[in-house]
Amino acid sequence: MKLPRPSFGDSSRSLEELSDINRREEKARGRLLDEFSLDELFLNLSSKDSISKARVRAALPAHGDREIVAVTLRLVNDAAARYPTFCMQWQRKAIGYLTSIGAEAMSRLGSLGIEVPDGLDFVGLEAEGDSSRHALIRARKIGDFAGVKARFIDFRADSIGDFALRKAECCNVQVRAAGHRLGEDGSDITLRAREAGDWLMLRSRRCFVDARQVGSLAGLDSNGLEIHVNRAGTELCERAMNVVIHLHRGARSLGTRGSGVIYVRRGSPSWRTCFRVEKMR
């Protein structure tokens, strides 16, 4: 019977050569990762009109979550130092996608979350965590359009800009100050803040807000919103359906169309509103 020939011959030289080739390849890949720059990323994104998270991920020379975290953190920090020079929206969106890719990789590694530099827009753009373990993004100051179309993401910051979490799902936000139009068209979003801007949770579904102060038209056209607030601007929860409001101090005016219940302090003045008024215990 004819036996198969050994894969590596009769000597150990072939094994040694293969091992040496692998070592050289790993060194070359390490140098490629270390030398990969933000400018190269922008060059790899040849069609700027259709930029997406998948295209940004494909442009990165990284394999495995640890390499992804290392390269995204380095590129994001480099971008923060040069951010005023990035005038094109596609460049800022690409940097936002980098934060999302890094946060998702951090979550898969079981990390406590990614910390991003201050002032970046589109942070967490279309980021997606897991329902059992949300990905976490931390910063001191987050810019505009953070968390747009994100899912299962938590944000912790001192402040977050305008248009945050538009069309987002199942996200949590803990900040001192939130900008205008947070949570627009979103669902199952939880916000805890000292103050929030106008049009908070516009057209949202099943969201929760705990804030000291909110601006005008908070909860407009929302459904299933629960809001705990000390002070509010004009037309709180106008045209909202199935809303639950806990108003601890006062509002300039309440919604006159919609359905739900509002809990007010005992001794509060009467309100012109469509909501059923109940006294707090």
Model confidence pLDDT, tens digit, residues 199-224: 999 999 999 999 999 999 999 999 99
Q: What is the pLDDT of residue 260?
A: 96
What spatial distance separates the first Cα and last Cα of the chain, rounded to whole Å? 92
Share of the chain above pLDDT 90, in %: 76
- Residues forming beta bridges with residue 162, ordered by sequence position: none
CB 145 within 8 A of CB 125: yes
Least confident window among 162-166, 187-191, 254-258: 254-258
Task: Provide the residue ranges of all domains of the chain, joining segments of one domain with +.
Answer: 20-142, 176-281
pTM: 0.87
Q: What is the pLDDT of residue 19?
A: 67
Nearest CA to 119 among 88, 96, 151? Answer: 96
- At 13, is the pLDDT very low, low, confident or very high (cuts 50, 70, 90)? low
**Which single residue is written with the structure tokens 């601890």?**
248
Q: What is the pLDDT of residue 265?
A: 86
Better-scored residue on pLDDT, 28 or 186: 186
CA dist., res. 208 & res. 165, Å (int) = 14
Q: Strands (DSSP E) along the chain, which ranges?
A: 114-115, 135-138, 141-142, 153-156, 159-160, 172-174, 177-178, 190-196, 208-214, 226-232, 240-251, 258-264, 276-279
| 87-113 tens-digit pLDDT | 899 999 999 999 999 999 999 999 888
Residue 6, pLDDT above cutoff 60:
no
CA dist list (Å): 86 to 95, 101, 161, 255: 10, 20, 18, 42
Share of the chain above pLDDT 70, in %: 87
Residue 49, pLDDT above cutoff 70:
no
* CB-neighbour burial class of residue 273 (10 A; exposed 0-12, middle 13-18, buried 19+): buried
Look at residue 216 and give its three-state secondary structure: coil
Least confident window among 7-21, 111-125, 220-234: 7-21
- Residues forming beta bridges with residue 191, ordered by sequence position: 173, 209
Q: What is the pLDDT of residue 85?
A: 93
Residue 152, pLDDT above cutoff 90:
yes
Mean of all residue pLDDT scores within the chain: 90
* CB-neighbour burial class of residue 133 (10 A; exposed 0-12, middle 13-18, buried 19+): exposed
Number of Cβ within a 10 Å radius of residue 65: 18
